[in-house]
A and B are shown apart, each in its own frame.
Chain A
Amino acid sequence: MGLHEPVEDWASDFDHTDDAWAADPFPIWNELRQTCPVAHSDRYRGVWLPTRHEDISAIAYDTERFTSRSVVVSEFRPPHEMAPAGVAPPISSDPPFHKGARRVLLPAFSPQAVDRLEPSTRAYCEELVDGLRGHDVVDAAEGYAQHIPVRVIAHMLGLPEADADRFRGFVNHVLEGVALPMEERAAGMLELFEYLKAQIDDHVAHPRDDLISYLLDAELDGEKLDFFHVGRTIALLLIAGIDTTWSAVGASLWHLAGHPADRERLVAEPELLPTAMEELLRAYAPVTMARLVREDMDFAGCPMKADDFVLLPFPAANRDPDAFDRADEVLIDREVNRHAAFGLGIHRCAGSHLARMEMRVALEVWLEAFPTFHLADPAAVRWSGGQVRGPRTLPLRMS
């Protein structure tokens, strides 16, 4: 952030890392949906921005014309030679390779597998709230939300919990460092892969009961996954599993801090939480995905060129009045809710069951420990921009 020219015209020169997008993207998307439903910017060597649910879902389902070779918008386009696996399989893989690479991973993230992680997740959350008791003001993003997915994913993958600060550094670099000079960006990626290589080597020498050993042992079409595939998938899980869930938990607490009636109702009716959680996921979906245009073509009247990026702002799709009644209102008892917070089609977030469990447990434990809390200083809340949006500073007054 701050590395680019501020945006003046969102229809022709948008930038998803702009501070205005981070602070409050909804008016931007609502305006574009009315006036320019597929916007274009020359930044990042060409990127498109659809804001209607109809267009976003059509692109998510169209794996022929839109490739997942890269899903993070930056100046960089990964070389075609990396196909079919791509930089971080299976999120970066297209059909038909995608299916097998995803199939290998899904059992580890099934609802049954996730259930087994709930007791340890609850224990982490309880430990965190115990450390926060007695303070007048607590930063719920930095002091609570961010720690939960880091600890859960480290435990699941089999990485040392003591390296949590390094993981957050990697995540920040990959997702928020998109505007850095290419060499600096490459150096950060190299550091991540060198770190993971040492961890994977250690698992090769000393196999254990965790996801790294599981992947080293897994087979795709009768053959073991190669070392690079394992490394890149681990990188994906580490990057995708952390600040997404951190953002969802933080955004939920931010909403409840600013809407006392919703907070009081959830404290009084804890059985409503699963329904409320889906509404908070709809309204504050953290993740915007991306695709690359495969070949020059026309989409919705737009002349798209090969290797143009297309952002898929699922949070904008979730606020489209053509897809949802009272789309801009947060109704915590909304019963019909086909939101797209975890994407649509073959790339549905593989960790969605894990994310939902973490979010439910994090909110249950928090609300039980702290039934009353308010925004200590609304102006001090800081949101991350780019493709994962959530509160990074969230001071709450705890009384």
Chain B
Amino acid sequence: MRVHVDQEICEGHGRCYAIAPELFEPDEIGNGHEVGDGTVTPELERKARLAVGNCPERAITVEEG
């Protein structure tokens, strides 16, 4: 599983890195970015889905697999 934050859609609410700091990090203006290449280890899948479910802008996409 991989996650990605679309920078065209992100408005910096910061829900993703508050919920899953292992998977997302803020830049200097508060926008969220996936850590590294966005790979989600199995034990963090639940957190990844919570981040997706709490993004007010629906800016996070998930690639299953």
Does the CB pair A344–B28 fall under 8 Å? no
Output the nearest chain A residue to B53 by Cβ-Cβ distance: A336
Q: Which of A4-12, A109-117, A230-238 lies at the interface?
A: A109-117
- Within the complex, which residue of B11, B53, B56 is in contact with A346, where a contact is CB–CB below 8 Å? B11
Grouping DSSP codes into helix (H, G, I), strand (E, B) and loop, the A interface class, with mixed when no group exceeds half, is helix
Instruction: Assess whether A122 is interfacial by the CB under 8 Å rule.
Output: no
Q: Determine the chain A residues whose CB is within 8 A of the CB of B56 once the complex forms.
A: 338-340, 342, 344, 348
Interface residues, chain B, CB within 8 Å of chain A?
A: 11-14, 17-18, 26, 28-30, 50, 53-58
Given contacts A338-B55, A352-B14, contact A107 B29 (CB under 8 A): yes
Sampled A-B contacts (25; CB under 8 Å): A103-B29, A106-B29, A107-B28, A107-B29, A111-B14, A111-B26, A112-B26, A112-B28, A335-B53, A336-B53, A336-B54, A337-B53, A338-B53, A338-B54, A338-B58, A339-B56, A342-B56, A344-B56, A345-B11, A345-B57, A348-B11, A348-B12, A352-B14, A353-B30, A356-B14
Nearest chain A CB to B19 CB, angstrom units: 8
Contact with B along A106-147 (1 / 0, CB 8 A): 110111100000000000000000000000000000000000
Given A336-B50, A345-B57, A348-B12, 17 extra CB contacts under 8 A:
A106-B28, A107-B28, A110-B28, A110-B29, A111-B30, A112-B26, A278-B54, A335-B50, A335-B53, A336-B54, A337-B54, A338-B58, A344-B11, A345-B11, A346-B11, A348-B56, A353-B30
- The CA of A340 and the CA of B11, in the complex, are separated in Å by 12
Neighbouring B residues of A346 by C-beta, 8 Å: 11
Q: Across the interface, do B26 and A110 meet the contact criterion of CB distance under 8 Å?
A: yes
Interface footprint category on A: 20 to 34
Using an 8 Å CB-CB cutoff, how does the interface string of A332-366 with B read, 1 for contact, 0 for none? 00011111101011101000110010000000000
Expressed in whole angstroms, the Cα–Cα distance for A348 and B55 within the complex equals 12
Interface residue ranges, A against B (CB under 8 Å): 103, 106-107, 109-112, 274, 278, 335-340, 342, 344-346, 348, 352-353, 356
Q: Which residues of B contact A345 (CB under 8 A)?
A: 11, 57
Across-interface contacts of B54 in A (CB, < 8 A): 278, 336-338
Give the distance to chain B from A219, nearest Cβ to Cβ, in Å.
16
A109: chain B residues at CB < 8 Å are: 30
A357 CA to B23 CA, complexed, in Å: 21
Residue of A nearest to B56 (CB): A338
The complex places the Cα of A36 from the Cα of B31 at a distance, in Å, of 37
B13, B54, B55 — most chain A CB neighbours (10 Å): B13
Distance from A140 Cβ to chain B, minimum over Cβ atoms (Å): 26
Q: Which residues of B contact A112 (CB under 8 A)?
A: 26, 28
A109 to B28, CA, bound (A): 9
In the assembled complex, which residues on chain B have CB atoms less than 8 Å from the CB atom of A348? 11-13, 56
Nearest neighbor of B17 in chain A, beta-carbon distance: A111
* B26: A residues at CB distance < 8 A: 110-112
Q: Which residue of A lies closest to B19 (CB)?
A: A274
Kindly state the separation between the CA atoms of A340 and B50 in the bound complex, as whole angstroms. 17
A139 to chain B, nearest CB (A): 31
A321: min CB distance to chain B, Å: 18
Residue of B nearest to A110 (CB): B30
Identify A352's interface contact among B13, B17, B50, B53, CB under 8 A.
B13
**Which residues of chain B are within 8 angstroms of A344 by Cβ–Cβ distance?**
11, 56-57
Question: Which of B13, B29, B55 contacts A342, CB < 8 Å?
Answer: B13
Q: How far is the CB of A6 from chain B (nearest CB, A)?
A: 35
Give complex CA distance A346, B14 in Å.
14
| Bound complex: CA A89 to CA B5 (Å) | 27
Docked CA distance A378–B13 (Å): 34
Question: Across the interface, which residues of A come within 8 angstroms of B50, CB to CB?
Answer: 335-336
CB of A274 within 8 A of CB of B18, answer yes
Query: In the docked arrangement, what's the CA distance between A103 and B55, Å?
Result: 21
Q: How far apart are B13's CB and chain A's nearest CB, in angstroms?
A: 6
Q: Which residues of A contact B14 (CB under 8 A)?
A: 111, 352-353, 356
What is the bound-complex CA distance between A345 and B56, given in angstroms?
A: 9
In the complex, the chain A residue whose C-beta lies closest to that of B58 is A338
B13 proximity list for chain A (CB < 8 A): 342, 348, 352
Minimum Cβ distance to chain A for residue B42 (Å): 19
Residues on A with beta carbons closer than 8 Å to the beta carbon of B30: 106, 109-111, 353
Q: A112 to B30, alpha carbons, bound, how many Å?
A: 8
Q: How far apart are the CA atoms of A8 and B30 in the complex, in Å?
A: 44
